[in-house]
Amino acid sequence: MAARTLINVPKRAKRGKIIAIKTLISHPMENGFRHNNIGVLIPRDIITSFVCTYNGEEIFRATLHPAIAANPFFTFHTVATDSGTIAFRWTGDNGFTTEANADITVE
């Protein structure tokens, strides 16, 4: 089950420059504490982990908890070192996995 994602990574950057990375993913982040209208507990369904790698090397990792709102958004910075691929991976409850990639040219 893959979710829709929105990734914002600059296509080009100067070597050594700090770049901003923004990611958004559609996910309900059901916290597991809510009941439905007939009083039955809605099972927890959240993203538990987010990892970003730059040419295979991990540059950012986050652990997510039930108090995080739906459609989690992450923004963070890194130094543009080499041209290549920045890869994103979200994993969560019920076997949830979604991956996305963005290419960057460093000159």
**Count of C-beta atoms within a 10 Å radius of residue 34:** 10
79 binds another protein (CB under 8 A): no
Residue 73, interface with another protein (CB under 8 A)? Answer: yes
**Any residues with CB less than 8 A from the CB of 95 and at least 6 apart, and which?**
1
Q: Kindly state the number of chain residues that form the binding site for another protein, as judged by CB under 8 A.
A: 14
Stretch 5-34 residues interacting with another protein (CB under 8 A): 6-8, 22, 24, 26, 28-29
CB of residue 77 to another protein, shortest distance in Å: 15
